Structure 1
Amino acid sequence: MTEISMSLNITFSDTLRASEAFTSMIQLEATSFGDIRASVGWTPGVCNGTAIRNPINDDLFDGDGDLGPQRAGTVRYPKTMSHSYSSTTFDLWPTPSRPPSLTSPGRLPGSSSHESVQILRQVLKDNHEKWHIFFDDFPRHNHITHHLLAIWAMGADGDIIRRVYDHDIQIQRPIGSSPEVITKENVYKHVGDARYYKAYLDFFKDAIRERDPGKVMEDYIFSYEANYGQDKPEMLARMMAGLGHGLIHLGYGAEFGLPGMFVQGLAQAAASNWPSAPIHPPSLFQGSIEKGSQPPLHAFTVISRLLADAKFVTKGENFIEMWGDALKVGDAVYELVEQWLPGASEIEKKIEELHWVAALLYAVSGYKRGEVVGRGNDDRGFNADFVSMHFATASIFLSSLMPFLTMRSQLILLRSSFGMMLLWWIALGRPELDVSAFFDEPLLDISSTVDSTVSNSVTLPNLNGITPKNNPNPWLGIIQQSLVHPDDHLPKLVRSLLHFSDLYGCTAPSTFNDTGLDGAEKIDGTLFLRAAFWTFKRLEKFEEGKEPPEFLVYGWDFKTFRDGLKGAMS
């Protein structure tokens, strides 16, 4: 490839928009548009039997040089060069940029209109200035930004965005002020104290204004000092606290090029108070990142081992006790996580595995053979578990965060993500997975319950006795209805499952035969559509007419996966 020399005065937004320059460079190398993938050595997902590979030659990028760290599964970008912003040029809420990775989620038409973009920016700014990141002392999270960006990316217009914001602010509490200013000298003094959220916002706003967001995350989330330094701040555990909401926030910042989301995510992590998990030992931040001598375990193999070992059975009588049981086996969980990702040489493949296992642990755990679709009078049906749903809504952002992180931090993030996923799943009861029955369920029977009927009277004629489908693309109905559903988690989950289906939907049965998971030979690319169908029908019939704060969650289940523990999380 011809050597290209560029001299750029790069800003934060320029870094993420660099994809256009690299896309042009790639296209120059290809003899035709159809040859682009062959030219860059890129194959999409496992559908063609290989993991996604870096599309730019590795020799152009040196982990210690100016062109940035090795990045997994992405078009890799130059590091943001040293920069500073004046008060008039630094915008926390600019127009969202293009995604930073070839495997970041795509966007649907509608989100790109000038009106929707301007309204989105207005309400994001309003939320940032007015509302706290926690709306109560539990603490439960302000999801406004998550909700708005998810529906905007799926094509919501300005009117829907405004209505969603007006709906969601009813339960929020004012941001308030903090007792003390946060500085570099006392940055970890008040971690875990929600009263200092505003002070942390101001601190991290200055940090992001002055430095590349990747550098800020390296220093304040992924470094040894941020976790085991003086007073043991444990910032990685705080980022993963509360079902990974800090990770989700930072992921939105990376995917959409929004400095404000980085600022909020870092401040949220600092203000979060959560017991440390044993899956973040000191060795995670200091150990070798070289590939181990043993071949890595597949994520499904890890699940099969958890199911086969009685020590991972929880015995507590409520969710808090079950979480305590899970923490007791945290060291054993981390040993499995290390065997799953012994080094940083297979980052792309492991992100893929996390997408699959996130959907599987949510959807198949909630399924029981013979139960009804939807919410029956006796509360039978698919168990749309509120906790495990977050496995998917967090893991969607891993590909977007990779371009900002060094190889070591990529490894740290993936080990932490899988480890926390496993701990939560163990705490939920580590249910037996009836994989075969889940995939034996006729997909048509499930999909017919979601209405996306074609109303156009002009359709393809009947040929050979075959009638054109009334529901030709079931995803469209799911997307349309999730845009206006009052629950803020449903569109996030739909978007995650839609993205995973886009990447892996053509995966054939028998792909995972060698993983050791019972029924794995049945797993195919319909997993994500099946999960979306079951979820949507479970949440479709919510109780209407509730006043805040009772309308916080519409239809999600909080009974764990253990029989007889209904209401265990209330």
Structure 2
Amino acid sequence: MFARPRPPFSQIIKGARKSQVFVNLLFIPPFDRRLFALKPHTIRFQSTYTKNLLNMATSNTIHLTPDDTGVFKFGSQDSETAKKTSQLLQENHDKHHIFFNNTGFHNHIVHHLLTLYGLGAPASVIERQYKLNASYQRPVVLSKNQAPVDMSIPDNFHNNLGKQMYYHDFLVFWQREIESKGWKDVLKERVFAGDSKADDMLGRMFAGFLHPLIHLGFGIEFNQPAIIAEALAQASVHDLWITKYLLDVEKKAQPGNKTIPQLLDEIRDDKKLSTAAEWDDGNKIRDGILARAPDEMMNYASQWTVEKGELEAKTAQMISSAVYFAAAAQRPPKQVKFDFYYMHCVNSSIFFTSFNKQDFLSEAQKVRLLEWKGRFDLTMYASRRSPELLLEEISGYVPKLLEAGDAEWSGLFQRLFEFEDDGHAVKLGRAVAHAEVVSQGYEDQDWAKIKSFMWLKIGNMVADSVEDTGDTWARSVGFDEAWKDYVDRPRQVHL
């Protein structure tokens, strides 16, 4: 039963006023599912207005243009690649769940393809990487017998938060919200308003090792309302425990001038906190840090604050510091490897450039989002047993390939285009290169541990490490156990 009268479908396709009626059915919720059964050649349009409406990004249609290449302007794109990438992202949107297994491992196709697209990868590379990762995804509706749930009913929405089986139902809900109000107003009301309901959603953005926040960042960066709807649906099926922690830290915070690198050192020197996580903890933040040293962690995290007028500088500090602790957490003489969890702190950092540009967010809302991210990063560092950070591992690094071009950003990105994974590696490369740009003008600051030539060194560390033997990512690098299966370095990696 539709909420408003519908004309016969034959009239929509063949009869008078077909163009405008079709557009209403497609773009004004509730959506008419009969449209999705049509073959592309079935539909003919009379008006240019209708064609233009369909040739745009909406809450359920992904449409990239050659100009949509993101905040890090490295490579240009063409209309062919824009069309192909849009088609692949649309297929992922329509067919695939946000988790590819019951454990909650994330579908990274959106992240991977948009990163490749933003860096100028050709359509052939993007399609090959898509096929590699589409092969193991689950259907968007997990059970054929699962009845749809209307999440516009408040009890349904509240009672099903955190349940991955309802991802598609939440997706439909958020698509309709965005189509009705626009994505900016939806985010302003449902994520950033500062009331208890919005804080619930904001906190869930930081769950799952920042994946909902990363997804939201891609949607905003590439101007795609459908991907923003995916991010909101993804957040809706994540758990809530990190929200209480971030709110408690916020209540404890007082204005101060400590930097993230200072606090990293203090966390490492605090023996109770730095050893609170144990190797066998299922989730080393929840079951380790927040179970055994919650007061200590909140004490340090609450000391990182952003005052009025500091947004740009503190954003640069957060971005630079995430790269610093991710790259410097090595274990010589073992192979150079990046920590899987620290890598997510870096990969999410790039989106704060986009967040800060949004006119629908107030400065106070941007500051709050940034403070939560910096405090989350400090907590993530502690949860991996607070490894020693070795700057000489970066400054003295000798790249594997020294030929002209191979060790520069263009050559590094080409190598990461070809690397077969779920997109983490090329995302890390792009985020590090972006961090270099953002950090320009701040290298004289005490918190700026990574300087000048060191950025490209880290880019080489990324490409070399993922191409090296052994697991692509080390996990929880402050623990001895994280390194036991890696071999000693077979070549000179330092000057």
The bucket for the TM-score relative to the shorter chain is 0.7 to 0.9
Change (3 A) 1:283 1:503: closer
Query: Partner amino acid for 1:438?
Result: E
Could you tell me how far 1:189 is from its partner in structure 2? 2.1
What are the superposed Cα offsets for residues 68-95 of structure 1, whole Å, 9 maximum, x if unpaired?
A: xxxxxxxxxxxxxxxxx98897633122
- Contact 2:337-2:466 within 8 A present in 1 as well: no
- Contact 2:428-2:462 within 8 A present in 1 as well: no
Query: Partner amino acid for 2:126?
Result: I
Alignment partner of 1:208 out of 178, 187, 205: 178
Could you tell me how far 1:137 is from its partner in structure 2? 0.8
- Contact 2:289-2:297 within 8 A present in 1 as well: no
Change (3 A) 1:557 1:512: same
Change (3 A) 1:154 1:358: same
Query: Partner amino acid for 2:211?
Result: H
- Alignment of 1:115 with 2:80, yes or no, is yes
Change (3 A) 1:87 1:106: closer
What are the superposed Cα offsets for residues 520-542 of structure 1, whole Å, 9 maximum, x if unpaired?
A: 7x641333322222222221035
- Contact 2:306-2:371 within 8 A present in 1 as well: no
- Alignment of 1:390 with 2:344, yes or no, is yes
What are the superposed Cα offsets for residues 289-348 of structure 1, whole Å, 9 maximum, x if unpaired?
A: xxx7x5522222222222232232224232436432311444444444443215343111
Structure 1 residue aligned with 2:418: 484
Query: Partner amino acid for 1:267?
Result: A
Could you tell me how far 1:276 is from its partner in structure 2? 2.9
Structure 2 residue aligned with 1:234: 200
- Aligned mates of 2:175, 2:91 — CA distance in 1: 16
List aligned pairs for 1:515-526, cutoff 5 A. Answer: 523-526=450-453
Structure 2 residue aligned with 1:199: 169
- Contact 1:559-1:567 within 8 A present in 2 as well: no
List aligned pairs for 1:131-146, cutoff 5 A. Answer: 131-146=96-111
- Alignment of 1:450 with 2:401, yes or no, is yes
List aligned pairs for 1:335-374, cutoff 5 A. Answer: 335-365=299-329, 367-369=330-332, 371=333
What are the superposed Cα offsets for residues 89-111 of structure 1, whole Å, 9 maximum, x if unpaired?
A: 7633122485799xx322412xx
Q: Which runs of 5+ in 1 are unaligned?
A: 1-84, 372-379, 454-469, 544-553
Q: Secondary structure at the match of 2:245?
A: coil
Structure 1 residue aligned with 2:428: 493
Q: Secondary structure at the match of 1:279?
A: helix
- Aligned mates of 1:422, 1:243 — CA distance in 2: 13
- Aligned mates of 1:220, 1:420 — CA distance in 2: 21
| Percentage of identical aligned residues | 24
- Contact 2:279-2:479 within 8 A present in 1 as well: no
- Aligned mates of 1:99, 1:87 — CA distance in 2: 17
Q: Secondary structure at the match of 2:311?
A: helix
Considering fraction of residues, name the structure with more helix: 2
- Alignment of 1:529 with 2:456, yes or no, is yes
Q: Identify the range of structure 1 (213-222 vs 129-138) with the bigger mean alpha-carbon deviation.
A: 213-222
Could you tell me how far 1:349 is from its partner in structure 2? 1.1
- Aligned mates of 1:387, 1:321 — CA distance in 2: 11
- Contact 2:342-2:381 within 8 A present in 1 as well: yes
Q: Secondary structure at the match of 1:171?
A: coil
Structure 1 residue aligned with 2:365: 409
Structure 2 residue aligned with 1:538: 465
What are the superposed Cα offsets for residues 141-179 of structure 1, whole Å, 9 maximum, x if unpaired?
A: 000010000011111111111111111101100011555
- Equivalenced residue count is 421
Alignment partner of 2:268 out of 307, 310, 316: 307
- Contact 1:319-1:427 within 8 A present in 2 as well: no
What are the superposed Cα offsets for residues 25-52 of structure 1, whole Å, 9 maximum, x if unpaired?
A: xxxxxxxxxxxxxxxxxxxxxxxxxxxx
Q: Output the TM-score relative to the length of structure 2.
A: 0.77
Structure 2 residue aligned with 1:429: 385
Change (3 A) 1:274 1:538: farther
Runs of 4+ deviating beyond 6 Å: 85-90
- Contact 1:148-1:161 within 8 A present in 2 as well: yes
- Contact 2:170-2:236 within 8 A present in 1 as well: yes
Change (3 A) 1:212 1:497: same
Change (3 A) 1:152 1:180: same
Structure 1 residue aligned with 2:280: 318
Change (3 A) 1:427 1:90: closer
Change (3 A) 1:180 1:87: farther
Q: Secondary structure at the match of 2:387?
A: coil
- Alignment of 1:298 with 2:267, yes or no, is no
Change (3 A) 1:226 1:413: same
Q: Secondary structure at the match of 1:340?
A: coil
- Contact 1:364-1:434 within 8 A present in 2 as well: yes
- Aligned mates of 2:89, 2:175 — CA distance in 1: 15
Alignment partner of 2:227 out of 245, 249, 261: 261
- Alignment of 1:244 with 2:210, yes or no, is yes
Structure 1 residue aligned with 2:23: none
What is the RMSD computed on CA atoms of the aligned residues? 3.0
Q: Which runs of 5+ in 2 are unaligned?
A: 1-51, 486-495
Could you tell me how far 1:282 is from its partner in structure 2? 6.3
- Aligned mates of 1:239, 1:188 — CA distance in 2: 16
What are the superposed Cα offsets for residues 192-241 of structure 1, whole Å, 9 maximum, x if unpaired?
A: 0011100111111011112232321232223444558xxxx832232111
- Contact 1:278-1:330 within 8 A present in 2 as well: no
Structure 1 residue aligned with 2:481: 564
- Contact 2:252-2:302 within 8 A present in 1 as well: no
- Contact 2:203-2:242 within 8 A present in 1 as well: yes
Alignment partner of 1:438 out of 378, 382, 393: 393
- Aligned mates of 2:296, 2:303 — CA distance in 1: 11
- Aligned mates of 1:314, 1:208 — CA distance in 2: 45
Q: Output the TM-score relative to the length of structure 1.
A: 0.68
Could you tell me how far 1:565 is from its partner in structure 2? 4.8
What are the superposed Cα offsets for residues 355-405 of structure 1, whole Å, 9 maximum, x if unpaired?
A: 11110110001x245x2xxxxxxxx31132111111110011011022142
